Copies of this chain bind each other. A is one copy, B any other.
């Protein structure tokens, strides 16, 4: 039986689980691939650092370059841009296929890496980069390859879903829900990458690239996190039958001039509570796909964690090993489409706008006039009166029909300037209605 040399870069949460599976499940992996997968080494910064694992000491090395030069398959789980990028290029240059979970690197520089891998005739696989254990890249790339995807909505960040789900079920404010998530290990000490949507934005770029057969990178993604979402937003959403989720959205749209393009964006989003994504609780992830023929599909599972992410990594390792055993070309990943990214202001979306107004005649007419002047039409309006007589104040909540971001943003600005408005209490986009 053939032996394939597997080099592992990084031995954190995911890497140590991958090493465990390669060693413990060696026989099963051999029978599934037709080759022994030999773990030749694990490159780490400090081989003597204390580790919560009983992996053989002699596997550890600091010489990552040398390790990848001698490998058939390199598993990159270091994260970050450098030295991950250089080592991947070094591996590709030496004829190794690469399996990675590095969403940040792929979203920043995927196009160049795929080109190098194609030119070298090696595989660059990355199922673990989006939504952890959920098999989503292969279904989008292969199973839906004979269909036309129109939209992808993803809950692809477990930390923010955990926080929003906790706010929804307990009524907590963002800061308290974040603190609790940090205490339980669902959020990091510096939660910026998660709560400001950067992690979701990387995954959105990768999902958009696959769904629309065109390279999109982080620069194409508009991104807004959840730190401004308040308990009041969530309560108002709940009352109106909505839940707030941080979604990575990639959809094909026409701009004002009828030109087709793809919008890739991340923002807190109101979803009807009957939408399948609304039932995704805690730190779970899910990706909802709409395609012309297939209709609505959803893929649900654990989006992070050592063992779940290691499962996705190992799926890529086994697929790559099978292909290396069977022979033949490893298969190009180069996108074949050329759909432009739409600038955010040209994207059409729907807004939910909350206003505190003085309860006096004419206020609704004034607000409605602003909507009309900007060509934005109103789908629903709800009014809630607080207090009585001279103390009375009203809260108005509008949900608009779809209009461009530019028109919607201008509408909100103009409303802020009205005398009859005390404050604009919330502005959130709506999907799935």
Contacts and interface: CB of A to CB of B under 8 A. Distances in A.
Interface of A: 17, 21, 25, 28-29, 31-32, 127, 133-135, 138-139, 142-148, 213, 276, 279, 291-302, 305, 307-308, 310-319, 322, 326-329, 331-332, 336-337
Given A301-B296, A302-B294, A331-B326, A315 B142 contact: yes
A133 B327 contact: no
Contacts of A148: 25, 28
A417 to B, nearest CB: 44
A164 to B, nearest CB: 18
Nearest to A33: B145
Contacts of A319: 142, 145
B146 A314 contact: yes
A359 to B, nearest CB: 40
Contact of A133 (B213, B297, B314): B297
Contact of A295 (B142, B302, B316): B302
A144 B21 CA distance: 13
6 contacts: A31-B336, A127-B143, A133-B294, A133-B297, A294-B302, A299-B299
Given A143-B135, A322-B331, A336-B32, A294 B312 contact: yes
Contacts of A318: 142, 145-146
A33 B245 CA distance: 36
A147 B314 CA distance: 7
Nearest to A99: B146
Nearest to A317: B146
A150 to B, nearest CB: 12
B144 A311 contact: yes
Given A134-B297, A300-B300, A329 B326 contact: yes
A430 B332 CA distance: 46
A311 B331 CA distance: 22
Contacts of A31: 336-337
Contact of A327 (B25, B300, B329, B336): B329
Contacts of A317: 146
Contacts of A143: 127, 135, 138, 312, 315
Contacts of A297: 133-135, 299-302
Given A31-B337, A322-B331, A337-B31, A133 B295 contact: yes
**What are the nearest 4 A-B pairs in CB distance?**
A328-B328, A146-B314, A135-B143, A135-B139
A146 B294 contact: no
